[in-house]
Each structure stands twice: as structure tokens, then as C-alpha cells.
């Protein structure tokens, strides 16, 4: 575990966002955003603070493992008032002078649309992807759905328009898709030991957290999307194509090895994360994938 306490603070950089405190530091000559876990005091949890930093680290690494560029993350510690906190250092992808435009801002540039940037209705998002002029819409659409499928695997309940977007080079007047970031809302970050034990020992408790919640932050007909129902519906061809791309890349042994190697979490936490990801993989992604692949195979056999 790296102790970031004595790293140089970068005072010219500050970060917004609601989930926990954030500071900019230099580590080995590279700028990082140091994310502190939000206090769990106001939540219905026995945690002294939430597990969002662990979720951030695991989520980002799984995205990278699956070939989707995500923010590089390092787990470490930081002393605050004599108490040692587990923190997640997230490499700052704007440190080289690139500007980050979140998709909320991009949505607002679509001037022939009546939709607001903050709106998370799926139809609005897809329309804005098609009409924005920053990055090839085909590439953005593929990125969006790949991200959606992995978020379904991770149980991300907070992928809104403010935490994904583009990097813009002002001098060259060009843009590219930004690395995926803000994975702290994956893997049930508010689950304390009691919840973890209940989920591991009770199939109904696990099923509730697979089939019922967490839901996506993206809405369909003004209701947050249920990952299982949406993926099994096969209603969106671009989403089906993302399933066909992503699911074969998932190696659960590699996922398990990633979690087992984390030094700062208990054996119970490791068991919980591994079981939770297996459940979501086997009960959400695999059935949806096998369904679309079975239909494709059936179509090819009849041609």
C-alpha cells in the first residue's frame, strides 16, 4: 500500500463532485486525483466510511481488463487528523492540458434538440450521440453501449451524463472519448459486513441485488432501467452488439485474481465481491448473451 500523505499537493487543481473529498497530488511526477471515501455516518450502514474507493479501484481495473480504456487507479492510504484512510488515486487525464467536457455539456451543444443536458432518458442520450459533432457518432455509440454492458456487470447505479464524456484539445480543435472514470458506485459500496454476510448466505438477498437493484441511472419511459430486463429484452441492436463484444472478453479467473490481490480488504469483502460479480455475470450477462447468440445461430442455420 502506498502512503500518499507526504505527496506534493497541487493547489492549482481542484475537483467537484458529490461523493467524498478530492485533492490533487503529484506521485512519481504524475498528477493524480486522490479520492477519499465519503463518510457513512449519514447512511444506514455500520461502516465508518463507505467502500467507494475499493469499488473505484476494482471497477476501473475491470474496464481496462476488458479492453475499455479507463482511468488508471492506485489504492493507498492518507493520514487525516491522525487517522489512516484508504484512498484511491486516479490518474488525472487532463494533466497534459486536455479539457474534459462531460456528456451533459455535449448534450447542451445539440442546438436543434429540446432536451436539457442533465436529462438521462435513453432516447435523449442516443439522439444527442447521433447529433453531436465532436467525435464520430458511430464510435461514441459503441463506447456508450460497451460501457453500459460493463456497468451492468459491475452493478453501477450512477452512470449519468456528468461522469463520462470527451477530451478536447483546444489548440488542435479535436476531440476524443475520455477514459472511463467514476466507478465508485459499483459493487454495492454501502454494503457493510452484516449486509455482505446476509447476501452470501441468503440466495434471495443475492437475487434481489441482481434482478431488482441496483438499476441504471439511465431511464426508459421515465423509469430507471433494470439491467436484467433491458438486456434480456433485446430491444436495442447496438446494445446486443455490445453484449456480443464484451461477454467473451470476461475471464472470471482474472477478475477473481484482481480482487484476491487487494491487500487492504478483508477475506469477507473478497468473498463478497467475487460472489457478487459471479452472480451478475451468470444471471444477467450470460443469459442475455446466449439468447442473442442462439438467435443469430438459428438464423444462420435457416439461411
pLDDT confidence bin for 300, thresholds 50/70/90: very low
Where is average pLDDT lowest: 105-114, 184-193, 290-299? 290-299
Is 260's pLDDT higher than 60? yes
Q: Residue 127: inside a domain, yes or no?
A: no
Q: Residue 134: inside a domain, yes or no?
A: no
- 123-155 residues labelled b (16+ CB within 10 A) or e (exposed): ebbbbbbeebebbebeebbbbbbbbbbbbbbbb
Q: Residue 196: inside a domain, yes or no?
A: yes
Return the pLDDT at 42. 46
Residues facing residue 31 across a β-bridge: 26
Return the pLDDT at 192. 93
Residues in contact with 204: Cβ distance below 8 Å, sequence separation at least 6, in sequence order: none
Query: Considering the chain, what percentage of its residues have pLDDT values greater than 70?
Result: 93
C-alpha cell at 134: 465532436
Where is average pLDDT lowest: 48-62, 152-166, 262-276? 48-62
Average pLDDT estimate for 72-95: 94
Mean pLDDT of the chain: 92
Return the pLDDT at 47. 52
Return the pLDDT at 37. 84
Q: pLDDT per residue over 272-292, tens digit each?
A: 999 999 999 999 999 999 999
Q: What CA dihedral angle connects 132, 134, 68 and 180, to 10 degrees?
A: -90
Q: Residue 123: inside a domain, yes or no?
A: no
Average pLDDT estimate for 29-39: 90
Q: pLDDT per residue over 97-155, tens digit each?
A: 899 999 999 999 998 877 777 889 999 999 999 999 999 999 999 999 999 999 999 99
Indicate which CATH number applies to the domain containing 286: 1.10.1070.20
pLDDT confidence bin for 45, thresholds 50/70/90: low
Total domains in the chain come to 1
Residue keyed to cell 477475506: 267
Q: Residue 135: inside a domain, yes or no?
A: no
Q: Is 97 exposed, middle or buried (0-12, 13-18, 19+ CB in 10 A)?
A: exposed
C-alpha cell at 156: 453501477
pTM of the predicted model over 0.95: no
Q: Residue 55: inside a domain, yes or no?
A: yes
Q: Residue 280: inside a domain, yes or no?
A: yes
Return the pLDDT at 111. 83
Q: Residue 88: inside a domain, yes or no?
A: yes
DSSP letter, residue 6 = T
Q: pLDDT per residue over 220-259, tens digit each?
A: 999 999 999 999 999 999 999 999 999 999 999 999 999 9
Domain carrying residue 263: 2-95+180-302
Return the pLDDT at 296. 58
Q: pLDDT per residue over 157-174, tens digit each?
A: 999 999 999 999 999 999
Residue keyed to cell 462531460: 102
Amino acid at each position: 500500500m502506498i502512503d500518499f500523505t507526504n505527496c506534493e499537493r497541487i493547489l492549482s487543481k481542484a475537483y467537484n463532485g458529490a461523493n467524498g473529498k478530492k485533492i490533487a497530488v503529484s506521485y512519481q511526477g504524475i498528477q493524480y486525483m486522490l479520492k477519499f471515501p465519503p463518510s457513512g455516518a449519514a447512511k444506514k450502514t455500520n461502516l465508518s466510511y463507505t467502500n467507494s474507493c475499493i469499488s473505484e479501484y476494482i471497477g476501473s481495473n475491470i474496464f481496462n481488463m476488458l479492453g475499455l480504456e479507463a482511468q488508471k487507479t492506485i489504492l493507498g492510504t492518507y493520514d487525516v487528523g491522525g487517522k489512516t484512510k484508504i484512498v484511491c488515486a486516479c490518474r488525472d487525464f487532463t494533466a497534459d492540458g486536455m479539457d474534459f467536457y462531460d456528456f451533459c455539456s455535449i448534450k447542451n451543444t445539440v442546438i436543434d434538440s429540446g432536451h436539457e443536458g442533465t436529462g438521462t432518458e435513453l432516447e435523449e442520450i442516443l439522439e444527442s450521440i447521433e447529433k453531436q459533432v465532436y467525435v464520430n457518432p458511430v464510435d461514441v455509440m459503441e463506447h456508450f453501449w460497451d460501457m453500459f454492458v460493463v456497468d451492468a456487470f459491475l452493478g453501477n447505479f450512477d452512470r449519468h451524463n456528468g461522469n463520462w464524456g470527451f477530451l478536447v484539445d483546444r489548440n488542435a480543435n479535436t476531440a476524443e472519448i475520455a477514459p472511463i472514470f467514476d466507478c465508485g458506485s459499483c459493487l454495492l459500496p454501502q454494503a457493510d459486513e452484516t449486509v455482505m454476510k446476509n447476501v452470501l448466505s441468503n440466495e434471495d438477498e443475492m437475487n434481489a441485488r441482481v434482478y431488482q437493484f441496483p438499476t441504471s441511472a439511465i431511464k426508459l419511459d421515465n423509469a430507471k432501467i433494470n439491467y436484467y430486463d433491458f438486456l434480456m429484452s433485446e430491444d436495442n441492436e447496438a446494445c446486443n452488439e455490445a453484449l456480443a463484444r464484451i461477454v467473451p472478453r470476461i475471464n472470471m479467473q482474472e477478475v477473481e485474481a484482481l480482487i484476491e490481490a487487494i491487500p487492504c480488504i478483508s477475506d469477507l469483502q473478497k468473498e463478497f465481491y467475487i460472489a457478487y460479480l459471479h452472480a451478475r455475470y451468470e444471471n444477467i450477462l450470460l443469459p442475455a448473451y446466449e439468447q442473442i447468440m442462439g438467435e443469430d445461430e438459428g438464423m444462420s442455420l435457416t439461411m
